[in-house]
Structure formats: structure tokens, C-alpha cells
Structure 1
Amino acid sequence: MTLPPTRWELAGEDNRGYGRHFADSVARGVDVDGEARFLDAMAARASRILDIGSGMGRVAAALRARGHDVVATEPDAALREQSRATYPDLEVLPHEALALDPAEVGTFDLVAVVGNVMVYVGEDTERPVLERVRDLLAPDGRAAVGFHLTAIKAGSRTYPAEEFVADAEAAGLRVVHRFGSYELHEPSDEYAVWVLARA
């Protein structure tokens, strides 16, 4: 199956600042574990967690360090290379969300789609991506999705909260919680963190 190009791919070199930013933050000892703490709090010990769009590996590595069984997946070759250099013990699959087959990778207690992944998927693939997330969930599994609601990053899209909820519901998911940050701030118009479950 030929997948449409993601917005991340189309942005090309304009999005290389992401990897540089987090490499610098890790090198300076800055706390970059906000998403991982949120995800860890959602999960029972030794949960099976899928990190879709794992980037340079910081969230997946932090979850592994907390004792979870983590599968990381990142289609961007440069970010996979950065991940290998920063976290050499973390295996990263080269798949984007729509290339993940539940028959091959199994299902998960928690699926993480954080770090603006949803605003970089291919045009008109939001619902298929969310359907794939649904299919990758264990029966009682949950998904965590976080993104900027307006297009402030190179190549990203504006994704209003109402449209995301409609897409999630059409994909067979329901909203369990909505927060304004990974520190559980109240919902805002800038950033949204969603907890989803099968409908």
C-alpha cells in the first residue's frame, strides 16, 4: 500500500530544529520527561506501550527506564539515527502509524501519539490514523494524544478540538479526558492532551 506523504515529510528541512532542540535540552540536563511522566501515571507497572512518532526517543526511553515494555516507531530516518545515538538500547521501528499492522506488532495497553504527531500526519489521513490507533489498543487499552491546536510548527496543520473529537468518534474512539498540558492543566485553546478509549 502506498501511503500519502506526511506533513512532516513535506516540511523537509524546515522541521530539523526539533531534533536539535531536544538534543540540546538533553545535553544541558533539562527536564524532557513531561509526557513520559503523564503516560507512566496512566499505565500499570510493566505495561505494553506503543510510542507512535517517537522522534529522537526521549519519551520511549523514559518509559523503558520506568519498567514498561515499549515499542517505538519513527519514520524519519534522521530522527531514528539521533535516537540510536542518544539511546542506543532503544530499538525503533521505521513505521508511520498507518504502516503498523496489529497482526504483526500486537496490541497495547497504552498507545502514545504525543509531541504533535497528529498535526503532521498526511492530509486526510487523520481518521484512518485514529482507526489504526483504535485497532492497536488492547480491549481495555487507552491512547494519549497531544498536539498544538493551531499551526505554530513548520509544516503542521491547525486541528480544532471539535474536529479532532469528531474524527476520534468516527474512528470508534471516545474521549475520556481532555487537559491543557501533560501536567493536567485545564483545557486551553493552545494545546490539548486527550485520553481516548475504544467507544
Structure 2
Amino acid sequence: MLAGMSRWEELTGGTSGEEYAARFAALAESGKDLHGEARFCAALVPPGARILDAGCGTGRVMIRLAELGHDCTGVDLDESMLAVARKAAPDLPWFQADLAGFDPAALGIAADFDLVVAAGNIFPLLASGTEGEVARRLAAVLRPGGLLVAGFGLDRAHLPVPPSITLEEYDAHCAAAGLTLVDRFATWDADPYDGGGYAVSVHHR
């Protein structure tokens, strides 16, 4: 199943890589901690784990996970974002692919990841109607016992687009893909989820 245009493409035109990277570079220069997602994920897996960054963008999360010693692979639809990632870390494996049609075998990727992370509002920015297919394809690349970790906004205050998926819908898609909810947090610092507008969900295969 290949998607139509994703909400991300509609929002950015697929040309926002340098602008996106510059925004995060400015945040880093201001002293903001940019590694919460990587710390969160690294705490869930053993040293040297295989991690897929699904919707890796400019590579901020994956590059940090690789620095922490994990075996990382990045996949994103937006070539402008991947160009930034490849420039920053040319030795890491970056692939252009639509997550709704993600076929690791076609890319030469072994489907036995310990963890798949979808940070950066990946699910709300998918093409409408593909959320279940993406959950299925990401679940399929996990080894038994592997984890899918997704953090995304649930309201307009936490998204650059109108909300498109609820936690109940996301959990249903994950359940249909053979995944079970393990835990849910309000932030990448593992603050307890209180029903607010952003959630980090951990599902287990």
C-alpha cells in the first residue's frame, strides 16, 4: 500500500531540511537539551541494540543513538532532510522510503530490530488513512520482544497541523499489528502521562 501525499509533504513541500536543521542548531546553541528521545530509547534496550529511526528526518535522534553505541538505521520520505543527515553522519545508513510502503528486504535491511522509534510527530504527519499500515509495517520489522516507541502531539498546541489521530486509534492500530501497550508518558523525560496534548507510547511485540 503506497500512500498519497503525506501531511508532512503538504506542509513543507519536501524542501525544509536545511531550515529544520538550522532551527535545532539554534536551540542547541541556546543550551536546550536535544537528546531526550535518544536517552529515553537507549534506556529501553541493551548496549549495541539494533534501532530503526522511522521518520529520521535530519538524523538528530539517530546520530545520538549511534554515538551511544547502538546499531542504527534511518528511514525518511523527505530527501531534503536525509541530505542533511547524510552530510552530518555519512557513515550511517540512511534510506529514503515511504513508511506506508516500507519494505526492508527491498532495501537490504534485516528485519530484526530491538526498537523502532517514531519521534517528531511521525504518525500525525502521515498521509491520511495510512496510520494502520505504517504501524503494521513497523511492527513487522521488530524481533519478538522488540519495542515500538512513538511520541506525537494530540492537539493543535502540539502539532503544526490539525490533529489527525487519537491515542485510542493509535493503540487500536498497534493492537491490530500484534503490539501491546507497555507504558505511556507525557514527555521524553518519562514524566507520567496525565491526559495532556502530547504522549510517548511504548508498545511491545
Residue pair 1:97, 1:132 contacting (<8 A) in 2 also: yes
1: distance between equivalents of 2:55 and 2:172?
Answer: 22
Specify whether residues 13 and 19 from structure 1 end up closer, same or farther in structure 2 by C-alpha distance, changes over 3 A only: farther
Specify whether residues 50 and 194 from structure 1 end up closer, same or farther in structure 2 by C-alpha distance, changes over 3 A only: same
Structure 2: runs of 5+ lacking an equivalent: none
Query: Which TM-score applies when normalising by structure 1?
Result: 0.90
**Counterpart in 2 of 1:193?**
200
CA RMSD of aligned residues (A): 2.1
Structure 1 residue 176 and structure 2 residue 182: aligned?
yes
Matches within 5 A, 1:119-198: 119-152=124-157, 153-155=159-161, 157-188=163-194, 189-198=196-205
Structure 1 residue 6 and structure 2 residue 6: aligned?
yes
Query: Which TM-score applies when normalising by structure 2?
Result: 0.87
Residue pair 1:179, 1:187 contacting (<8 A) in 2 also: yes
Give, in angstroms, the shift of residue 156 of structure 1.
5.3
2: distance between equivalents of 1:51 and 1:123?
Answer: 21
Give, in angstroms, the shift of residue 14 of structure 1.
9.6
Specify whether residues 134 and 2 from structure 1 end up closer, same or farther in structure 2 by C-alpha distance, changes over 3 A only: closer
Partner SS for 1:83: helix
Amino acid at match of 2:55: G
Kindly, what percent of the aligned residue pairs are identical?
34
The number of aligned residues is 198
Q: Can you list the C-alpha shifts for 1:134-190, whole angstroms capped at 9, x where unaligned?
A: 101101111111101113433353422222222221222110111111111111321
Amino acid at match of 2:109: V
Structure 1: runs of 5+ lacking an equivalent: none
Amino acid at match of 1:123: S
Residue pair 2:150, 2:202 contacting (<8 A) in 1 also: yes
**Counterpart in 2 of 1:34?**
36
Matches within 5 A, 1:34-183: 34-103=36-105, 104-106=108-110, 107-152=112-157, 153-155=159-161, 157-183=163-189
1: distance between equivalents of 2:56 and 2:14?
Answer: 18
